[in-house]
Amino acid sequence: MAATKPSTLHEDRLFSSNPLERKIAKELYDIAKTLPLVCPHGHVDPKLFAENAPFPDPTELLVIPDHYLFRMLYSQGIPLESLGVPRIDGGQTEQDHRKIWQIVGENFYLFRGTPTGVWLSHELYEVLGIRTRLTGETAMAIYDEILEALAKPENLPRAMFDRFNIEVLSTTDSPIDSLEHHIKIRESDWTGKIVPAFRPDNVTDFMATGWRQNIDKLAKVSGVDCSTYKGYIQALENRRAFFKKMGATSTDQGVFTPFTAEMEEREAAGLYEKALKGEATAEDARMFTGHIIMEMARMSIEDGLTMQIHPGVYRNHNPEIFKKFGADKGCDIPMATDYVNNLKPLLNKYGNDPRLTLIVFTIDEDTYSRELAPLAGHYPAMKLGPAWWFHDSREGMLQYRHATTETAGIYNTVGFNDDTRAFPSIPARHDVARRVDSRFLAELVAEHIIDMDEAKEMIVDLSYNLVKKNYKL
């Protein structure tokens, strides 16, 4: 029986079991569900849309790029090698994609109750038209169904983009990237809007792998001599201007902590010169990064790019996996984060300036009501990023709304972003966010905290207007 059990997506999923709240949530969701998707921060490779080639197979599409998925499988003792995850050390990995998909099917039960299970079920049902539950017994039949679906014109990357009703999608790009794929997209006759976002971590963090070589690349691509700190800053400004010309509206800093510190130019120049010689310490890197975040805020005031900070992640916590497979392989762990003290220098200098839009993220839920909501509820420049990464989920989103709304309201938040490499999961992630926000607002209506007409305006703002406004899209 289990082998042929049909796959279903209940129309009331993620809504409250309270009948009144469920009824209100359904009415609000009916408004939100047809709104265009605005995707201001993600990691989809622009090459996908530049080449517009068919997706090769289910494993390449849904498994290998998705660290949410193989993270869970690894936790159950399934080696990443057996899942086809490429090794950077030259080691062998499984090349038989059917065998990999079979492993996923046999272990799909592990994702019951998780956001990954919700997303993948949505992708299979809504995006690919699969009507059978994924199990070990059905894996090969579903594999063949997906292969057939991927051969259809409506499942080419650009066609999916249009079918998903995506209004704009922002990628995340290094300052030393030529943006060749973005250029190719702009030169094509396709009207889909793909824009870059400026992510400078590999040239601002002395401890980043290949930092010194990246500085040479920055000098080459910008045409600015980076042998001095002044030239380095000019090169960053040069690249920001190029990104903006290519449609960018935002920058992003992925930092260990949100530490900020203003340094005199000579002090920053001294640390930069020390790093060029290969003599910088971890403390030097911390101080310089804290200073560069201040510089990025200054630049954002000047060029108008929205600024994002994504801190609080102990990246590559498992050295064995990092050595074999590299970064972004499911072994990044949330950690406690101090925003009040770390952001004080930045907010005291620039937080009162309405020309700056500073979006701050966290995966430390303890800081929602104690630190982040009060900060965003005061400083005009600061806004709260949505529940992110480990909390991009039913429970995470609800806790975020409950913990922040009373202090910051919804208008000091910025809607939703999907933050994904797995392109077909984008509509699933937005659907979850819109359902959860409908549920949250329904509770406020049912308890007579807001009126229904207000909730109807708020669901549009949460789903569409806030993200467009704060990311200047």
**Is residue 209 in some structural domain?**
yes
The Cβ-side half-sphere exposure at 395, using a 13 Å CA radius, reads: 6
Q: Are residues 216 and 282 in the same domain?
A: yes
Domain that holds residue 74: 54-155
Q: Given the structure tokens 């930069």, which residue do they identify? A: 272
Q: pLDDT at residue 6 above 90?
A: no
What integer pLDDT is reported at residue 5 of this predicted model? 75
Cβ contacts of 330 within 8 Å, gap of 6 or more: 67, 68, 70, 71, 74, 321
2: in domain: no
Q: Does the residue 364 lie in any domain?
A: yes
Is residue 273 assigned to a domain?
yes
Domain with 43 in it: what CATH number?
3.20.20.140
Last residue of a domain, one of 122, 138, 155: 155
Q: Are residues 130 and 166 in the same domain?
A: no
Q: Could you report the per-residue pLDDT of 110-144, keeping only the tens digit for each?
A: 999 999 999 999 999 999 999 999 999 999 999 99
Q: Are residues 237 and 126 in the same domain?
A: no
CA distances from 74 to 83, 88, 250, 326 (A): 9, 18, 34, 15
Cα(312)–Cα(287) distance, integer angstroms: 17
Residue 104 and residue 248 share a domain: no
440 is a domain residue:
yes
CA 58 to chain centre: 22
189 shares its domain with 300: yes
- pLDDT for 125 equals 96
The percent of residues above 90 in pLDDT, for the chain, comes to 97
pLDDT at 4 over 70: no
Whether residues 450 and 374 fall in one domain: yes
pLDDT tens for each residue of 29-78: 999 999 999 999 999 999 999 999 999 999 999 999 898 999 999 999 99
pLDDT at 2: 46
Assess whether pLDDT exceeds 90 at residue 102.
Answer: yes
Nearest of 244, 261, 252 to residue 200 by alpha carbon: 252
**Computed from CA positions of residues 13, 14, 17, 19, in that sequence, does the dihedral angle turn out positive or negative?**
negative
Domain boundary (114, 135, 155) is at: 155
**Domain co-membership, 207 together with 292:** yes
Average pLDDT over every residue of 216-232: 98
CA–CA gap between residue 236 and residue 296 (Å, rounded): 9
Is position 1 within any domain? Answer: no
Looking at the structure, tell me whether residues 419 and 293 fall in a common domain. yes
Instruction: Assess whether 71 and 206 both reside in one domain.
Output: no
Whole-number average pLDDT of the chain: 96
Q: Answer yes or no: do 199 and 151 share one domain.
A: no
Domain boundary among the residues 155, 172, 206 is at 155
What is the average pLDDT across 197-220? 97
Percent of the chain with pLDDT over 70: 99
- In total, how many domains does the chain have? 2
Q: Which residues contact 460 (CB under 8 A, 6 or more apart)?
A: 31, 32, 35
Looking at the structure, tell me whether residues 103 and 130 fall in a common domain. yes
Residue 192 located in a structural domain: yes
For residue 1, pLDDT beyond 50: no
**3 pLDDT more than 80:** no
Q: What b/e sequence results for 325-347 when a residue is b if at least 16 CB atoms lie within 10 Å of its CB, and e otherwise?
A: beeebbbbebeebebeebbebbb
Residue 206 forms part of a structural domain: yes
Asked if 20 and 63 sit in the same domain, the reply is no
Average pLDDT, integer, range 220-235: 98
Which domain CATH number covers 92?
Answer: 1.10.2020.10
